[in-house]
Chain A
């Protein structure tokens, strides 16, 4: 990992909040909207050519953070910098450039394609709108894209409904690649696929990354998948990044108890009927204000954890954890 390289993407103390819907009366009285905190103070950096796995459970804010990078959610506080420049920078053509250089691949291959457009139409629209190739080159470019994602040319005239989940996910990938992006945000790209198909897509991603030098932010809940694709891993819990490190640091020397809990929970492919004890459901227990958000579920929690939020501890140049006990 070359520390010297300038990051492609920098997420600096980013907060994202969702306003609860307001009624007409609230609107007329200009009452402020109350907000749900989805992401609280996230810091990340992504180097060119690197894949960062963003892991967490549902409600951790990982998808929200990924979408904030795409500009789908507004950032309430903090900055997201792309190539060192703020995403909201008023420079002419900057937004247009961002729309091309940063692309997204979605989770659900069934809803992420317009059901009334053929595959060729979907791809051609992107190419024409962004003028990626001259108009007379669009057809050839569509063919090339299908080739790149490993789909036969006969698929071009098909509608999404006549394709399997894996094939649709390849189309979703082709659509993202059409504008020749540098950064892909992948939101659970294989979560909806069967294992055997999932492996096909993961291999395809590895090939594309190699061939095109793409950077990827890989958002997922499945640690075995994240381990397979990532150079570095960031773990989120309830809107906060609790641990970050290289793949080996996270998987062989996890420092945050939540990361350890995630790792031991992943089912292994070995027949081992484990002795089981009923653990109480603690996931709904609210953390005390000012304390560590993970304290109610943490097997190691002490009084200090409930009273004082842990600061980030730097365990190595690449390894950070937000726990009082990290690093001894």
Chain B
């Protein structure tokens, strides 16, 4: 039947390694990610500190590992809360049409008329910085993409007779939406969420860089890259590993998304 493509396997494998490394960070490294040690500041990579230390003497490897927790959690909330809400709203609009659909689409068009980042910064400026407010800001903007995607898929799927059949059997709209339509339209949103996840991590990194993101001592890849910027000449290693971690996570999710595209999108008809 459906095959598990190699990219799916590699993606899952890479991601599993990253998640496990984050979970078992305290056992993988002897250092504390927050403890400052001025005597060991700006050490280049070598025995003791495999990836060097930053300007406050913190072990880069340790901080990069602990940052997995921060970044994956951020990526998760900034991606999947908007996805769940957006998909539900979009799919419902595509199913029932009418005034709900008209209003929802105008709201989405309005939100999408502004550049994504500008809108986030405006919202953050109103709410103030902080992780929680990042979630709120990204959510307020992010769901629109999923709503559009789900609505478009729903318009196609809703025209199919099995949805009509469910209606003629008297099933309630919520059941038709959740049990019949969603499993058939969720695929593209899941695939999209893989790249969205990476983009959201980058976004939060960018916001941290601007001082609107994760507050200072918490290890976070984007913030670490930003810190390294000032020492690029004498200590290139500060930015290297966190940057690499972002890339590897991105690659893992991209592979996963690619594999899921084949698996979820594979609706070819056999027989007949």
Contacts and interface: CB of A to CB of B under 8 A. Distances in A.
Direct chain A–B contact by Cβ atoms under 8 Å: yes
A107 B271 contact: no
Contact of A95 (B166, B170, B269, B271): B170
Per CB-CB distance, the 10 closest pairs between chain A and chain B, nearest first, are A99-B170, A112-B161, A111-B160, A106-B161, A116-B183, A114-B162, A104-B168, A164-B271, A111-B161, A70-B168
B267 A126 contact: no
Contacts of A62: none
B168 A108 contact: no
Most buried by A among B169, B171, B175, B271: B169
Interface stretch (B7-15, B99-107, B127-135): B99-107
Contacts of A135: none
6 contacts: A96-B170, A99-B168, A99-B170, A112-B161, A113-B162, A125-B179
A248 B102 CA distance: 51
B48 interface: no
A163 B184 CA distance: 18
B270 A161 contact: yes
Interface in B181-199: 183-184
B103 A24 contact: yes
B1 to A, nearest CB: 8
A96 B169 CA distance: 9
Contacts of A114: 162, 166, 180, 183-184
Given A22-B102, A112-B162, A179 B169 contact: yes
A142 to B, nearest CB: 15
B184 A23 contact: no
Given A114-B184, A115-B184, A163 B271 contact: yes
B39 interface: no
Interface string A101-128: 0111011101111111000000001100
Nearest to B170: A99
Contacts of A70: 168
Contacts of B269: 110, 161
Given A22-B102, A70-B168, A161-B269, 17 more contacts: A24-B102, A27-B102, A100-B170, A103-B168, A108-B161, A112-B160, A112-B164, A114-B162, A114-B166, A115-B162, A115-B267, A129-B170, A129-B175, A130-B170, A164-B271, A164-B272, A175-B165
Nearest to B271: A164
A165 interface: yes
B229 interface: no
A115 B179 CA distance: 12
A91 interface: no
A72 interface: yes
A106 B169 CA distance: 13
Interface of chain B: mostly helix, strand, loop or mixed: helix
B177 to A, nearest CB: 13
Interface residues of A, number: 36
A111 B180 CA distance: 12
A108 B165 CA distance: 12
Interface in A163-179: 163-165, 172, 175, 179
A116 B180 CA distance: 8
A261 interface: no
Contact of A161 (B170, B175, B267): B267
B166 to A, nearest CB: 8
A72 B106 contact: no
Given A106-B161, A106-B165, A113-B162, A162 B102 contact: no
Contacts of B170: 95-96, 99-100, 129-130
Interface of B: 99, 102-103, 106, 160-162, 164-171, 175, 179-180, 183-184, 267-272
A129 B166 CA distance: 11
Contact of B270 (A23, A99, A116, A162): A162
Nearest to A19: B98
A72 B99 contact: no
A2 to B, nearest CB: 30
Nearest to A26: B102
Contacts of A179: 169
Given A24-B106, A27-B99, A106 B271 contact: no
A163 B269 CA distance: 9
Contact of A104 (B165, B179, B268): B165
Contacts of A24: 102-103, 106
A72 B103 contact: no
Contacts of B162: 111-115
Contact of B102 (A23, A102, A110, A172): A23
Nearest to B179: A125
B252 to A, nearest CB: 27
Contacts of B166: 114
Contacts of B183: 114, 116
A85 to B, nearest CB: 17
Contacts of B271: 161-164
A71 B102 CA distance: 24
Contacts of B175: 129
A13 B268 CA distance: 44
Nearest to A70: B168
A165 B272 contact: yes
B233 to A, nearest CB: 56
A312 B62 CA distance: 89
